[in-house]
Structure 1
């Protein structure tokens, strides 16, 4: 487990003090993919660099597998960092070295023999899908291939933790999904704990088990991704959720499609987990004497299951409408009434 307690970073300039990270406490479980999301200036990149002490914390502690990183002397920290891999937004490759030599570099520093280096590098090249590119230079690679080299290099010393600082921000959407699929595969094959920093909710949705939302150096919300998506509490989280369902905040426009009859209710349905696969609308139409007008909807998969949102107008007698909504709620689907009959 990674235990982060009261972690803070204060920058002192000639003119002002800047609290980049402010009293952050989190527990990250072994083998999980933990996301940290925030807008520019939220403090998330500083936060991830505090975990391996690329930045020195002003206060607080980071404990990885019962070892307090923040109290380690330099010689112990250098050794511990070999077990904390890191990948970056702009790859940070050595441009004069081939793919093979870039991946071998941390092994050279660690004093691994040439024969073992070769065996390990070839294994990693196969793992990240770069077979045939061993002797290519970074300038000959696509952005996605460069990031695969960065991932392989970060895995060279068999780390306990992999830190990803905006690892997909420089990539196009299709390549981003490929890299995210690779991280999920690595997480499952190696049981590797991954801490992923991003400003893209799609990244969190696709691969993370839990997420912390940062704003002004603080964690304003954290929990399981599915729960945070369905029940966002902070304004910042709600803005991120809108990235996945941009029509969510345009409810007023729905009324352009409503019949506006006195015998109608407009409801928002939340489908979570297995309920997202259920043919509930079909069930209702067969069971109750109502007319259903589907206004809009969306469904999104997460690591913990799918969740969907559906806006519908239901027309019928008031007593029937009441029974219909009760049936929906009893089915395990959350209901928010937007317009009463």
Structure 2
């Protein structure tokens, strides 16, 4: 669906050249919700603006449905953008227009007849959960409602791709979840490919199928969301995973655990999918002559299933603890002994 090769963007400032996006290669499948995550300055906002040529690339190609957006002339680009919807962090609504007229605007630009335009707008108002608010103005709406208008407007021309530029970062957590649920619903109903950039791992965890981690203009890690949660390779990725797993000061926490229980074995268990319901600890307590103390744990949900971590302290004979580790390794639960940050 989307094939990106050698994509780069270099900005020329007064004093130097700044490489915002550095030679990216990426493939995004049709119907996928693909997340791009990074901290401020990672290059993710520039990246998403390159996908619809709001920024011209310095090098590389962006092929969407067999059409290289990066090489299109102005007239071709205007037509191509009808297949690429975009929603923004700060909504970008027309404040003098009603909800109905905001959603209708791209249809007017595309030359759609009024009767067809009005019918399409009503369908979209219903789809995004704003029935009865068509004649309201943006100033009369909550933040979440404004973003729903932005989503409806982005869908007006029946795009094949929806780009989301920090679409929930201006919203409170409850409203964020409702907007994310709406995006999942749209993805499933319309088989719409969604590319979403964010600095919040909660957003990636909740709705994305695949994720790419950006740092310094490069993609430093990518893969299935659940795999990235299970096996983060880079330090920046581990920091993002810790956002969701509730341990932002993981290194200090682990040092405290090791200092407090230095004479015992600390195990970190990884549970995936149906294994999160497994009664492993009680099973170990019955089978082996050791004492078990649960130190810390959390379960979270991704699009591909549940993922959980559990820190436990084992006290007893070293040989018996080794037997426990061997037993856990014989199951589908992953185990780290005396884990480090």
Give the TM-score, by structure 2 length. 0.96
Q: Distance in 2 between matches of 1:143 and 1:253?
A: 41
| Matching of residues 217-236 of structure 1 within 5 Å | 217-236=217-236
Q: Distance in 1 between matches of 2:135 and 2:297?
A: 48
8 Å contact kept, 1:41–1:216: yes
Q: Distance in 1 between matches of 2:254 and 2:83?
A: 48
Q: Distance in 1 between matches of 2:125 and 2:232?
A: 40
Q: Which residue of 2 aligns with 1:308?
A: 308
Per the TM alignment, residue 232 of structure 1 is displaced from its structure 2 partner at its CA by 1.0
Does the alignment pair 1:267 with 2:267?
yes
2:256 to 253, 258, 267: 253
8 Å contact kept, 1:257–1:295: no
Q: Which residue of 2 aligns with 1:242?
A: 242
Q: Which residue of 2 aligns with 1:121?
A: 121
Partner of 2:117, secondary structure, is helix
- CA RMSD in angstroms, aligned pairs only: 1.3
Partner of 2:338, secondary structure, is strand
Q: Distance in 2 between matches of 1:18 and 1:305?
A: 40
8 Å contact kept, 1:226–1:302: yes
Q: Distance in 2 between matches of 1:77 and 1:14?
A: 30
Moved over 3 A (4+): 255-258
| Matching of residues 147-296 of structure 1 within 5 Å | 147-247=147-247, 248-249=250-251, 250-255=253-258, 258=261, 261=263, 264-296=264-296
Does the alignment pair 1:52 with 2:52?
yes
Q: Which residue of 2 aligns with 1:320?
A: 320
Aligned length: 336
Per the TM alignment, residue 246 of structure 1 is displaced from its structure 2 partner at its CA by 4.0
Q: Which residue of 1 aligns with 2:78?
A: 78
Q: Distance in 1 between matches of 2:57 and 2:223?
A: 24
Q: Which residue of 2 aligns with 1:31?
A: 31
Q: Which residue of 2 aligns with 1:95?
A: 95
8 Å contact kept, 2:258–2:266: no
Partner of 1:18, secondary structure, is strand
Per the TM alignment, residue 214 of structure 1 is displaced from its structure 2 partner at its CA by 0.6
Give the TM-score, by structure 1 length. 0.96
Partner of 1:82, secondary structure, is helix
Per the TM alignment, residue 257 of structure 1 is displaced from its structure 2 partner at its CA by 5.5
Partner of 2:97, secondary structure, is coil
Per the TM alignment, residue 95 of structure 1 is displaced from its structure 2 partner at its CA by 0.2
8 Å contact kept, 2:31–2:187: yes
Note the residue ranges of structure 2 that are not aligned, 5 or more in a row.
none
* 1:31-67 deviation per Cα after TM superposition (whole angstroms, max 9, x unaligned): 0100001111111000000000000000000001111
Per the TM alignment, residue 256 of structure 1 is displaced from its structure 2 partner at its CA by 6.3
Q: Which residue of 2 aligns with 1:298?
A: 298
8 Å contact kept, 2:6–2:59: yes
Per the TM alignment, residue 304 of structure 1 is displaced from its structure 2 partner at its CA by 0.9
Q: Distance in 1 between matches of 2:316 and 2:176?
A: 46
Q: Distance in 2 between matches of 1:73 and 1:177?
A: 39
Q: Distance in 2 between matches of 1:61 and 1:146?
A: 33
* 1:148-199 deviation per Cα after TM superposition (whole angstroms, max 9, x unaligned): 0000000011100000000001001110111001101111111000000101
Greater displacement, 47-56 / 111-120: 111-120
Q: Which residue of 2 aligns with 1:332?
A: 332
8 Å contact kept, 1:222–1:228: yes
8 Å contact kept, 2:245–2:300: no
Q: Distance in 2 between matches of 1:253 and 1:273?
A: 29
Q: Distance in 2 between matches of 1:257 and 1:176?
A: 39
